[in-house]
Amino acid sequence: MKRSDRLVAMTNYLIEHPMELISLPFFSETYGAAKSSISEDLAIMNRIFQADGIGYLASISGAAGGVKYIPAMSSEHSNQFIEKLCNDLADPTRILPGGYLFMSDILGNPNIVRNIGRLFASKFANLEIDSIVTVATKGIPLAYAVASFLNVPVVIVRRDPKVTEGSTMSINYVSGSSKKIQTMVLSKRSLQPGENVCIVDDFMKAGGTINGMKSLLQEFNANVRAIGVLAEAEDEEEDRVVDDYVSLVQIKNVDDNNKQIEVTKGNYFY
């Protein structure tokens, strides 16, 4: 195999297997090249990954070592994407009756969702996450996007038990915005004790739902290592029950009467 062909094949393999440790002998045997040639190829790929702002290759030495592709988005690309996200969400035509915001087109756009996933994966790549946890239903696309870059499974917390879930664990929690008692359930087979999890959601007001998920995950002895939300509301900050989280954008004001929306960057860069 020519080097140019091998570079394409190896690059594709690494991108398709993020966060997975791959030994040099594997590449050497698969593509019929000497380890020294493979090392040179990996150096080229690492340089291009970093130049394009899509991640880097981490090398682990030793007999059980190898190379691992760490997905990431450069600060420049991250800033540009979040700024565009703010501009898109500030469109006054998104205002719905009652002061709600239409976001389904954002969550339904594969390219946007993929970039959101890369952003959160960049932030949480070094936390040794074992699973991504979200609550049904709008957070599911984001959770799968993050999981695809961290190469971990997705666990979905539901409002009602499903017969296909088997035995479940359920808790009651207080919704931060409506102050109503609500229920969430999770299959007992979803998590192993002691797993490191990352909670992902599309929108956070007071944080009652996320706080409920944290309480539910405590029943599984899971460690919540990170919380990522696409958008947060500012108006309920005083009553917020979650303070350790990462947000991409902040909805500061939705003026239904004057048809104005004020959107700023979240705390992603803080």
Q: Is the domain of 86 the same as that of 213?
A: yes
Express as a percent the part of the chain with pLDDT over 70.
97
Q: Is residue 270 part of a domain?
A: no
Predicted confidence band at 180 (pLDDT cuts at 50, 70, 90)? confident
71, 89, 121: which is the final residue of a domain? 71
- What is the count of structural domains for the chain? 2
Q: Can you state the angle between helices 35-52 and 3-16, rounded to 10 degrees?
A: 60
Q: Is the domain of 103 the same as that of 38?
A: no
Q: Is the domain of 44 the same as that of 88?
A: no
Q: Is residue 111 part of a domain?
A: yes
Distance CA 157, CA 200 (A): 11
What mean pLDDT value characterizes the chain? 92
H or E element that contains 255: strand 246-255
H or E element that contains 133: strand 131-135
Distance CA 82, CA 73 (A): 12
Q: Is residue 105 part of a domain?
A: yes
Q: Is the domain of 150 the same as that of 240?
A: yes
Q: Is the domain of 48 the same as that of 84?
A: no
Q: Is the domain of 52 the same as that of 105?
A: no
Query: Tell me, what CATH number does 106's domain have?
Result: 3.40.50.2020
Q: Is residue 229 part of a domain?
A: yes
CA angle, residues 161, 162, 167, in degrees to nearest 5: 70
32, 55, 71: which is the final residue of a domain? 71
Q: Which of 129, 118, 249 is nearest to 198 (CA)?
A: 129
Predicted confidence band at 71 (pLDDT cuts at 50, 70, 90)? very high
Q: Is the domain of 166 the same as that of 43?
A: no
Average pLDDT over residues 83-93: 95
Q: What is the pLDDT of residue 243?
A: 87
Domain that holds residue 231: 75-265
Q: What is the pLDDT of residue 238?
A: 56
16, 43, 71: which is the final residue of a domain? 71
Distance CA 197, CA 128 (A): 9
Per residue in 114-162, pLDDT (tens digit) is 999 999 999 999 999 999 999 998 999 999 999 999 999 999 999 888 8
Q: Can you count the helices (H) and strands (E) in the chain?
A: 8, 12
Q: Is residue 20 part of a domain?
A: yes
Query: Tell me, what CATH number does 58's domain have?
Result: 1.10.10.10
Q: Is the domain of 81 the same as that of 17?
A: no
Q: Is residue 80 part of a domain?
A: yes
Q: Is the domain of 45 the same as that of 152?
A: no
Q: Is residue 132 part of a domain?
A: yes
Per residue in 210-254, pLDDT (tens digit) is 999 999 999 999 999 999 999 999 865 557 889 899 999 999 888
Q: Is the domain of 47 the same as that of 118?
A: no
Q: Is the domain of 232 the same as that of 143?
A: yes
Q: Is the domain of 63 the same as that of 114?
A: no
Using the predicted structure, report yes or no on whether residue 90 has a pLDDT greater than 60: yes
